[in-house]
Amino acid sequence: MKYVGFLFGGLSATYAGYYLVLYLYRWEWQRALISGVLLLVIEGFLACLVLLSRLSRLERRLVEYDARVEEVRRRLEQSREAAPDRRFRWIGSEELDGTQRTFVFVPVLMVAGAALSGVAFLIQKVAGVTTRPGAERRLAGRLAGLTAPPGAGARSPRLEDRPAVPPSRAGRKAAALIAAVASVALLVVMRGSLADATQTRPEAAPDAAATTVVFQVDMRGEVAAEARQLAAQDLWQTCRRSTAALNDRTSLHRLEEKVYAGVIRPALPPHDVMRLRGCIEDASTNRATAHVLGEGQAASRH
């Protein structure tokens, strides 16, 4: 279930990020905000999932550790209860006539220890005198089978001959340099593409007399024609101001019951047309939503 959650969260975050960039490119701000909030929620979900996974792992380790400690303690108790009394009985003490008495004669033990030490010293001296060099030669002959074959030391360098830091590889440096150059170039291209997609600088005016946008207005519930007209007019006046080009001369005409055509003079550049379309698709006012049916440029007559 953990991996299923990670997979679901990763796919959802990918889709949310994709639509966030797409709606920003289309200048559909309301949908971009919704996608951004959804992306933040998914990121929070993934973070909580990682934390819960780590906490469950720590809890499982603590349980296993407590189980091992309890098992060791139980075994120690069993071994202590089952251990026989291995003390010498003559070392123990007994109580006779209300008096604690020991049956060990301490001076005897001291003399016995001194005698044993003297005997061990004599054995060591005799062993050192009687040892022959042949014993070492026989031991060296037995250990000869464990040594490396002749010439092996010449083929393999010794540890002290190896450098502390391995030499750098030219291939890795070249690959890192190529990757860095490619990353910088990709960053420049992406920056240029993003700047072109979200530009606000003035563009060259197209060779056209006007720009026409045809859109359909839908409203929830049964509404009068006047209310739909007011909603369409409000939506059109709001969105025409979202363009960077000057568009003082505008008009809105009703074509059918729900279809309207907006005209802007002079004609808008392509980027402003995209911004106008995105605003109309994204705007919502007076329970009304709009859908762009098409846009175009009216050709100049001269």
Q: What is the CATH number of the domain that holds 222?
A: 3.30.70.1130
Number of domains in the chain: 2
11 lies in a domain?
Answer: yes
Tokens of 192: 């240029």
Domain coverage including residue 271: 208-299
**Domain C-terminal end among 17, 41, 69:** 69
295 lies in a domain?
Answer: yes
**Domain C-terminal end among 16, 43, 69:** 69
Enumerate the β-bridge partners of residue 216.
259, 291
261 lies in a domain?
Answer: yes
202 lies in a domain?
Answer: no
Q: Which residues contact 8 (CB under 8 A, 6 or more apart)?
A: none
Q: How confident is the model at residue 214 (pLDDT cuts 50, 70, 90)?
A: very high
Q: What is the pLDDT of residue 149?
A: 54
Strand ranges inside the chain, DSSP E: 93-96, 99-102, 208-219, 249-254, 259-265, 284-285, 288-299
Residue 123 has pLDDT above 80, yes or no: yes
Q: Is 195 exposed, middle or buried (0-12, 13-18, 19+ CB in 10 A)?
A: exposed
129 lies in a domain?
Answer: no
Q: What is the pLDDT of residue 113?
A: 78
Q: What is the pTM of this model?
A: 0.45
Alpha helices in 198-269 (DSSP H): 225-240
